[in-house]
């Protein structure tokens, strides 16, 4: 919701003119930074996040407002990749300790 700058009447967000006094309505408050066109799951980014989990974990909160789907896919890939690496490292260490 926005308000007429001249008479102060409440206006619809999409209103161009104030119905009360007829003056031009102010532009809507700062447009959302959400970039729908860019917001698709990027395979390249996911691969990068899988190889460098730290990148994905930093990218997620950083880009969450602009491209939430892309950022989330990247962040989740990073976490899954990190978890798999941690499990593999644990298993290798565990069986290595038993076998050697």
Residue numbers of the site for Zn ion (CB under 5 A)? 4, 6-7, 9, 18, 20-21
Q: How far is the CB of 6 from Zn ion (least distance, A)?
A: 5
**C-alpha to C-alpha distance for 81 and 87, rounded to whole angstroms:** 10
The Cα 78–Cα 40 span in angstroms is 17
- Residue 74 C-beta: closest distance to Zn ion, Å: 45
Nearer to Zn ion (CB atom), residue 18 or residue 78: 18
Indicate the residue among 18 and 74 with the shorter CB distance to Zn ion. Answer: 18
Nearer to Zn ion, 7 or 41 (CB): 7
Non-local (6+) Cβ contacts of 25 within 8 A are 2, 4, 11, 15, 16, 17, 18
Min dist. Cβ of residue 31 to Zn ion (A): 22
Per-residue DSSP letter, 100: -
């Amino acid at each position: 919701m926005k308000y007429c700058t001249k008479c102060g009447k409440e206006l619809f967000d999409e209103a161009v003119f104030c119905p009360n006094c007829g003056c031009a309505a102010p532009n809507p408050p700062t447009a959302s930074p959400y970039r729908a066109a860019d917001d698709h799951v990027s395979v390249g980014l996911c691969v990068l996040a899988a190889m460098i989990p730290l990148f994905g974990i930093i990218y997620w909160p950083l880009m969450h407002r602009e491209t939430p789907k892309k950022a989330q896919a990247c962040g989740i890939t990073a976490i899954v990749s990190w978890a798999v690496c941690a499990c593999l490292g644990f298993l290798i260490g565990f069986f290595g300790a038993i076998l050697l």
